[in-house]
Structure 1
Amino acid sequence: MVPEAETRSVLDELQRLRARVPLLSGALAASTDGLVLAHDTPGIEAEGVAALTAAALGVSIRMTEATGRGGFRELLVRGGSGYIATYAAGSSAVLTLLAEDRINVGRLHLEGRRAGARIGELVDSALERVERTPPMPRTAPARTTQNRTLPQRPT
């Protein structure tokens, strides 16, 4: 998964985004399989939103492929009280923004796309470093004269 330092950087990006766009009520970065990477979503269950984002992403990817529209870039849902916008964030993450109904949608897209690109760079580079890091060698457990977890066989 994403190392803690990058997770903190992603959270910082989400908080800066919410400060720049006052009508954002929440921001969440998740893996494409629905795991929360970082969130700034007061009053919203982040894990549930991340799982729903993954489901919506799956449908969106199928729609873009079925209609020949290329790879997934973004999804916009408008409800009675506002918007939910999801943006691609690199190859393995997505950014979901919750916005009030009065938001300027053009500004939402501009800021969401920029933040998605920055978050994607952070997550993708962190995952590349993790994949390149060789696993730590396992040390064999110390030998003891008696097995303490399994009963001893009679001799």
Structure 2
Amino acid sequence: MAAEAEVLDELHSLRARLPRLTGALAASVDGLVLAQDIRGVQPEGLAALTATAQGVALRLTDATGQGDFRELLVRGAHGYVATYAAGSSAVLTLVAEGRVNVGRLHLEGRRSGNRIGELLRAAAHQPDRTPGQPPSTPTATGGPLPVRTPSRRADPTRE
């Protein structure tokens, strides 16, 4: 994935902003790890559990008429697990100590979820390119600039 390094940078930045954060993981809504900065927990297992919890949360918000999924907070005896929507195809899961400022956790988690969603959306709209080919420059409408190729005139005297 083209955005994997940028998503990982966002996770590192998030952990630097929230010292009581003990782990961060970005995963697809299907439960696949996109990027992770977490220790002491199996990232693949956490991504699968996150996808399951997000699926239940989606059903819960739908059944109660509360709209699209935004976030989920679980409080345990030793801390918190918070999951935030990261665009339409991913989620951000944060693991924090019990002494974390929950308001700040939400503020930073929401910001990072939005940022990760933007990174993934931009990566999905980037055309694939062959190695060594420079990236295309986007136009004002967001698409790549057209490429002009010289054409040969149909001149029977030229070969």
- TM-score category of the 2 structures, normalised to the smaller one: 0.7 to 0.9
Structure showing the higher helix proportion among its residues = 1
Q: How well do the aligned residues superpose, as a CA RMSD in angstroms?
A: 1.2
Say whether residues 1:85 and 2:79 are aligned partners.
no
Counterpart in the other structure of 1:67? 64
Counterpart in the other structure of 1:35? 32
1:97-120 C-alpha deviation (Å, 9 max, x unpaired): 000000010000000000000000
Displacement of 1:17: 0.3
Say whether residues 1:107 and 2:107 are aligned partners.
no
- Separation in 2 of the partners of 1:125 and 1:32? 17
Displacement of 1:124: 1.5
Displacement of 1:10: 0.2
Q: How does 1:111-122 map to 2 (within 5 A)?
A: 111-122=108-119
Displacement of 1:27: 0.2
- Separation in 2 of the partners of 1:28 and 1:61? 19
Structure 1 residues without counterparts, runs of 5 or longer: 135-155
- Separation in 2 of the partners of 1:93 and 1:28? 10
Structure 2 residues without counterparts, runs of 5 or longer: 130-159
Counterpart in the other structure of 1:50? 47
- Separation in 2 of the partners of 1:123 and 1:32? 13
1:78-134 C-alpha deviation (Å, 9 max, x unpaired): 00100000000011010000000000100000000000000000011212325xx59
Normalising by structure 2, we get a TM-score of 0.79
Normalising by structure 1, we get a TM-score of 0.81
- Separation in 2 of the partners of 1:129 and 1:48? 30
Give me the identity figure in percent: 66
Q: Which one-letter code corresponds to 1:42 in the other structure?
A: R
Displacement of 1:11: 0.3
- Separation in 2 of the partners of 1:50 and 1:68? 26
Aligned partner of 1:8 among 5, 8, 20: 5
SS at match of 2:109: helix
Deviating above 4 A after TM superposition, structure 1's stretches of 4 or more consecutive aligned residues are none
SS at match of 1:129: coil
